[in-house]
Amino acid sequence: MRWVLLSDDWPPLSGGVASWSARVASGLARAGDRVDVFARHRTDLHVPKGVSVHGVSSRHFARTGAAALAWSARESLREADAVLATTWPVAWAVAPWLRRRRTPLHIVLHGSDWTRRGDEGLARWTLRRARVWAVSEHMATSARRKGLSVDWLPSPVDAAPEPRVPSTELKHLVMVARAVRLKGGDRFVRLVQSLGIRGTMVGGGPMQEAWAELGQGSVDFLGHCSRTRVEAVLRTADAAVLLPRTEADGTGAEGLGLSLLEAAAVGVPAIGCATGGVPEALGPGLCLTDPDDPAASAQAVRAWWSPRRGIEQREWLVRQHGISRCVAALRGSPSPTHRG
């Protein structure tokens, strides 16, 4: 089977969509498929084993990137058995043409690509010409309310062969997220301070300086890190935390919370809140009822945490997610039931 993968987010970017895209491409190649990736040009684009990667340039990629990707990939698209667009904005230029050719087009909803879509009419027009997947039932439900047919897709995160050795006490929390307002870094800092333990935040962005000032030395801010470095930091954590918020009108909710699954992969338990798809990424982890009450949240964390929690988190990940499950769904196997 020959796949063409279209993406605006690809390593060396370290965000969730870039990581997701590279893992899926590698999984399809390991399954024996041919995979040609056409991604926005950046220096040192990652080339997974068995995958062909082509950088595509466009002066105003946000507006014309979909057309540039379609043009650059035109020969591969003619020979493709299936096309995977990792977000809908890169697919509008190919959607009608592929439909006429009866070439399956798969589009995945991750989060802000759907919840903050700039052109709802174009988004719905594109998605109605594709097989649509969502990384969480929260995202799928949001799209179904707009009349779209959407299926849940397992996340391509495998459990690490060697999990973290569990600690005997709670001493260190880690948050992996971009330092932007809705990610809730201020909530993380106040939780760490209330617990009186050490905190580390991985991920740069415009809010990093303000959060560092709020932390007053209680939290280390590492900024942007490679995926290898992120895993190394997670292995030092006694729990991974993600406490995002939404805009006042309810928009901008977190699509899932991939960093919590990546923590589970190395045997680190997860702490989150009931925002967007985060509860689905928590699995057996702790969902704080009021993340803006650091004292009550700290008490809940203390009562819940034990050395066993990380083992439970990893076992849940193995049952629920994984690259092979994600690839099997995309290749046409029956979609697995989402148990949350």
DSSP state of 167: P
Q: Is the pLDDT of residue 4 over 90?
A: yes
The pLDDT of residue 114 is 87
* pLDDT at position 105 over 50: yes
Angle (deg, nearest 10), helices 258-265 and 16-30: 60
Q: Which residue has the tokens 């995309």?
A: 330
User: Which pLDDT tens digit goes with each residue over 70-87?
Assistant: 999 999 999 999 999 999
Separation between Cα atoms, residue 85 and residue 72, nearest integer Å: 14
Nearest CA among 137, 166, 152 for reference residue 314? 166
Domains and CATH numbers, the chain: 2-156+322-331 (3.40.50.2000), 172-318 (3.40.50.2000)
CA 214 to CA 188: how far, in whole Å? 11
Confidence of residue 113 (pLDDT cuts 50, 70, 90): confident
End-to-end CA distance of the chain: 31
Q: Give the separation between CA 37 and CA 10, rounded to whole angstroms.
A: 9
Element (H, E) at 189: helix 185-195
Q: What is the pLDDT of residue 333?
A: 53
Angle between helices 185-195 and 294-304 (to 10 degrees): 70
Q: Mean pLDDT throughout 182-204?
A: 97
- Find all residues with CB under 8 Å of 104, minimum gap 6, and list them: 81, 82, 83, 98, 131
Q: Which residue is it, tokens 């595509």?
A: 56
- Flag whether pLDDT at 146 surpasses 50: yes
Neighbours of 192 (CB within 10 A): 24
Mean pLDDT of 242-255: 91
> Residue 337: is its pLDDT beyond 50?
no
- Residue 6: the pLDDT is 98
